[in-house]
Amino acid sequence: MITIENGRFKVGILKRGAELRSFYDKAADREIMWQADPDIWGGSAPILFPIVGKLRDGKTTINGKEYEIPKHGLVRTREATVVEQGDEHVIFAFESGVETLEQFPFPFVLEVEFRLSFQSLEVLYRVTNTGSAEMLFTIGSHPAFALDLEHARLKDYSIEFCEPAYIDLYGLEKGLLVRKIANNQMDAHGVQLSESLFENDALIFPNIETRTLRLKSSKETRYLEFDTHGAPHLGLWAKPGAPYVCLEPWYSYDDAPDCDGIFENKPGILHLAADETFITGYTIRIVD
């Protein structure tokens, strides 16, 4: 575990997947991240690259050749290299190699930076195309935030959209994207949590207009504010009834059952010229 720390927060990141495992608020004596209980869900904040979600049949075609890419991509199970570290920041890197090129035929470097300030943690991704041809990819985040169900119920929690959003709701069936009908637990201003909200897997909001989310409990005034850095799509997910919720900014999403399987045709696929760098990420703020 790699740690960074300032006067208020202490952060722990696994080298495996450069996965944020702990964001501890010393002032409040509270852990902000879900602690990856394997009996419920063993993740905490995996990085999704170079795909988000699942490919139909686990396969896709790139430049006329078929490739198999596992759900949520290649880096979440790989060891990252620490390339820079200070008291309040650390930078990890993943670099393509023989094994990744067999699954995804583009050379790349992905840097992941964690940087603390007094009130927030910023996570930045820098994807650089180190090849000579245009690179096709997508990227997303999957952070899970702990809910205090000892002092509140799930229905006391809500996710507020700070910029009211038109709701175009999708979900997953057998791991593939299907359109859903919004219910009375959500509207343009947000979503109320409940025991049944995720009984049919994730909720997916393509082309959502809000950039800032607030995770609030009616039992306290303190809340978590989450900046998606402008990612166009949003996923929300948890195991039903579990004491956490995932806020997931994405640049693409799972395949639909009728997709043609061509990677370039995936909705939201990103195009990156040789030697160019794409930057995105998210910011977690604690508002007292």
Split at pLDDT 50, 70, 90, the class of 83 is very high
pLDDT per position as a tens digit, 123-141: 999 999 999 999 999 999 9
Does residue 182 carry a pLDDT above 80?
Answer: no
In what side-by-side order are the strands of the sheet with 9-14? 2-5, 9-14, 19-25, 30-31
pTM of the model: 0.94
Residue 132, Cβ density class (10 Å: 0-12 exposed, 13-18 middle, ≥19 buried): exposed
pLDDT per position as a tens digit, 104-124: 999 999 999 999 998 999 999
How many CB atoms are closer than 10 A to CB 202? 18
In this prediction, residue 214 carries a pLDDT of: 97
CA distance 265 to 283: 30
CATH of domain 2-287: 2.70.98.10
Give alpha helix (H) positions in 223-288. Answer: none
Split at pLDDT 50, 70, 90, the class of 170 is confident
CA distance 256 to 173: 10
How many CB atoms are closer than 10 A to CB 227? 18
The full DSSP string for 68-92 is: E--TTBSSTTSBPEEEEE-SSEEEE
- Of 245, 249, 243, nearest in space to 268 by CA: 249
In this prediction, residue 183 carries a pLDDT of: 67
Across the range 195-221, mean pLDDT stands at 93
Q: What angle do CA 192, 42, 155 make, to 5 degrees?
A: 15
In this prediction, residue 181 carries a pLDDT of: 67
Q: 163 with 210: CB under 8 angstroms?
A: yes
